[in-house]
Amino acid sequence: MYQKFGFFEPHHIDMNRIAAHFNIWIHYENVNSMMIKHDGMYSIILNSSLSKEKQWEDFAHELCHVLKHAGNQLYMNQMFRELQEFQANQFMYHFCVPTFMLLKMDFPQLRCQAAKMIADLFKVTESFAVKRIELFEKRQAGIQFHEAWMASLSQESESANAARLKEEDELARYRRETRRPYTTANGVGKMVAAESRPAYMLRK
C-alpha cells in the first residue's frame, strides 16, 4: 500500500494523504478515538487531547476498521468484537511501522536505543515502538525457523534420493553379474536339456 503512495522512507508517511486517498474525513474532538460511517461516508474522530504520536496510532487502528471490517460493534457479540479489535491492533503496528522499512534499518544493539530510534523516525510512542520490535523479532525468528526446517527437509530428501540411487546401482550390478551369456538357439536347447537331465546323468 505504501509503495503505491510513494512512501519508501519513514518521513514520507503522511496521515492526511492516506485519509484523502480513502475519502476519509478526520475530526478532532475531546472524545475517545473512533470511526463512524454516515450515508456511505467514513470519518475518523481522533481524541484532541492526545499527542500527535498517539493520534497517528489511533488513526491506523481506526483505518483497519474502515478497510477490513463491517458491522456495528455496539450490536456484536463480545468474541467477534474482540476479534476485530485484535485485528485492528495488529494492523496498527504494521501500518505505523512497516516491515519493509524496518528491514532496511541498522539497529543499535540496545533495545531501548532501538525503540527510541523507531519512535523518532516513525513518529510513534516509545511503548508502541517496543511492542513493534517484539513483533518484528517474532517474525524474523519464524522466518529463520521455516528456512531451517525447509533446509532440513531438503537434506533428508537428498539423503533419501542418494540411498535410492545406491540401491538401484547395486540392483543393476547384481543383474549384470548374474546375467547368463547369450547363446544360439541350438546352445539354448542343449542348456535346457542339460538342466532337465537328472543329477546322476550330468557330466563332471
The letter for the amino acid at 195 is E
Which of 87-101, 114-128, 181-195 bottoms out in mean pLDDT, i.e. has the lowest? 181-195
123, three cell numbers: 513518529
Contact predicate 22/42, CB 8 Å: yes
Contact predicate 103/118, CB 8 Å: no
Region 55-73: mean pLDDT is 87
185, three cell numbers: 538357439
The Cα–Cα gap between 57 and 36 comes to 17
Region 155-184: mean pLDDT is 64
Q: Does residue 134 or residue 172 have the better pLDDT?
A: 134
Q: Does residue 199 or residue 173 have the better pLDDT?
A: 173
- Structural domains of the chain in order of their starting residue, each with its CATH number: 2-96 (1.10.10.2910)
Backbone torsions φ then ψ of 40, nearest 5 degrees: 80, 0
3-class DSSP state for residue 21? Answer: helix
Opening angle at CA 106, ends 103 and 110, nearest 5: 115
- Confidence (pLDDT) at 139: 76
pLDDT band at 63 (very low <50, low <70, confident <90, very high): very high
Please check the confidence at residue 1 and state whether its pLDDT lies above 90: no
DSSP sequence for 134-171: HHHHHHHHHHHHHHHHHHHHHHHHHHHHHHHHHHHHHH
% the chain with pLDDT above 90: 45
- Confidence (pLDDT) at 148: 63
Contact predicate 35/62, CB 8 Å: yes
What pLDDT digit, counting tens, does each position of 40-55 carry? 889 999 999 999 999 9
Q: What is the pTM of this model?
A: 0.66
Helix (H) / strand (E) containing 35: strand 34-38
